[in-house]
Structure 1
Amino acid sequence: MASSSNSLAMLGPAIFEKLSRDNFLLWKAQIPSAIKGARFMGILDGSSKAPAKTMSVEKADKRKEEVLKPAYEAWQVQDQQLLNYIVNSLTKDVLASVATVTTSAEAWAALETMYSSQSRAKSTNLWLQLSTLKKGNIGKPIGDAELISVILLGLNYEYNPIVTSVMGRVDPIPLNKLYAQLVTYETLLELLHENYNNDGFSSSANSAS
């Protein structure tokens, strides 16, 4: 495990784009590289679990006493440094959502649960809005090709595989087929996010609203 002072320095400067209620994906894109570079990712995703907290030592008078294990203290220092790094990257409104968490993994899980689902829902809402979009004031519906372009431009980075696939086609994709692909892909994203949260974290997000 890297030393706490070196790891803290490797996290670098504070996140420039602080997390608000509507920029989760942009905020999240800034986080992993700094954390991986500082070798903190194991703490964040739960794979580097806290060591046993105490150990029994025998004192000079033969009595035994429970004391903190050095390995636990070192882990706790890194975890709290990481928690502080995450907290400092949040706006005041979002900070209230993780005010009661005590570890970096709990904070990350809570933010993932609350805001990633909102980002995916925005993609679906965009589709619903565009399906009734009119061009100018003449009430003329937008053509399929133009509508598809607007839809692709409005998708977030999680949909890059869909965007790349459509842009690489020789023949234009029908609008109904694009919609079917988006629905299928969004369902897959939901399953992946659920499995990630269930397997990787013990979330305390249910306590937040």
Structure 2
Amino acid sequence: MTTRANTTIHNTNDPHSTLISINVAAQTPLKLTSTNYVSWKLQFQTLFIGYDFLGFIDGSYPCPTTILPGTTTPNPAHTLWIRQDQLLLNAILGSLSPTIIPFIARAKTTREAWTILANTYAKPSRGRIKQVKNQLKQITKGSMGVFEFLRTIKAWVDELAILGAVVDDEDLLEKILEGLGEDYKELVRAVQARDTPISFDELHEKLLNFEASL
């Protein structure tokens, strides 16, 4: 949800003519930690694109002048820009873990805060990539249900993709089959004997049906 203020500037064709307040809990629930910057950034980028706010963080929509050009009249667009920028900065602050807030304590604009965070956390952590790969390598179905097993694997594969270490479909399916255990060896043999590769969705469906038969 968003709440829109009633204050608007005179140019009603301006897409930024209405203040928009971001509901942090609902729209940006992932809090930034020292290990999840890429995922955190993605949720804000999609939100900023949707509301046409990228200009506040990339500099393409700078703060308007305080006075209307060629006059001594205060520029209402300046005040509105400041207010909107502070609402966005507030949203970013609300999505940070407490230990990270001091890093941007001196930031006065959304762009300043965004730049500091990017410079600090943008490079994917090699340690995190290695950690996720190890988790993926070691996981087996064990006592988990099929749905939980596949959901866990898919979550780690998606995280690796975000970190720039994409797992191809063949390796993903091979990992799933390896981790199923003895109860599923009949299905595993059938899948491995296919002439054409099976898709993740099709394998998911077959595993659920097989689980139900067990």
CA pair 41-57 structure 1, distance change in 2 beyond 3 A? closer
Q: Which among 34, 37, 42 is matched to residue 50 of structure 2?
A: 37
Pick aligned residue for 1:4 from 18, 42, 51: 18
Moved over 4 A (4+): 55-58, 123-127, 165-168
1:4–1:77 Cα contact (<8 Å) kept: no
CA distance 1:126–1:16, change in 2 (3 Å):
closer
Number of residue pairs matched by the alignment: 139
Corresponding position of 1:71: 77
SS in 2 for 1:163: coil
Q: Residue in 1 aligned with 2:126?
A: 121
Q: Which residues of structure 1 form unaligned runs of 5+?
A: 59-65, 131-151, 169-209
3-state DSSP class of the match of 1:159?
coil
**TM-score, with structure 2 as normaliser:** 0.52
Identity %: 27
Question: CA separation in 2, counterparts of 1:46 and 1:101?
Answer: 15
Higher helix share: 1
CA distance in structure 1 between the partners assigned to 2:115 and 2:23 by the alignment: 22
Whole-Å Cα distance in 1 between the matches of residues 23 and 31 of structure 2? Answer: 15
Q: Based on CA coordinates, which of the two structures has the bigger radius of gyration?
A: 2
- Cα gap change, 1:17 to 1:77, in 2 (>3 Å): same
Aligned pairs (5 A) from 1:33-182: 33-55=46-68, 68-117=74-123, 119-122=124-127, 153=157, 155-159=160-164, 162-164=166-168
TM-score, with normalisation over the residues of structure 1?
A: 0.53
Q: Which has the higher contact order (CA 8 A, sep 6+)?
A: 1
What is the RMSD of the two structures over their aligned residues, measured on CA atoms?
3.5
Equivalent position of 2:41 in the other structure: 28
Structure 2 regions of 5+ residues with no counterpart?
Answer: 1-14, 135-155, 173-214
Aligned equivalents of 1:124, 1:23: Cα separation in 2: 11
1:77, distance to aligned residue in structure 2 (A): 1.2
Taking a change above 3 Å as real, the CA distance of residues 123 and 156 of structure 1, as seen in their structure-2 partners, is farther
- Closer, same or farther: CA 56–29 of 1 in aligned 2, 3 Å: closer
- Once the two structures are TM-superposed, the CA of residue 29 in structure 1 deviates from its matched residue by 2.3
Task: Give, in whole Å, the separation in 2 of the partners of 1:77 and 1:4.
Answer: 10
Post-superposition offset of 1:49 = 1.1
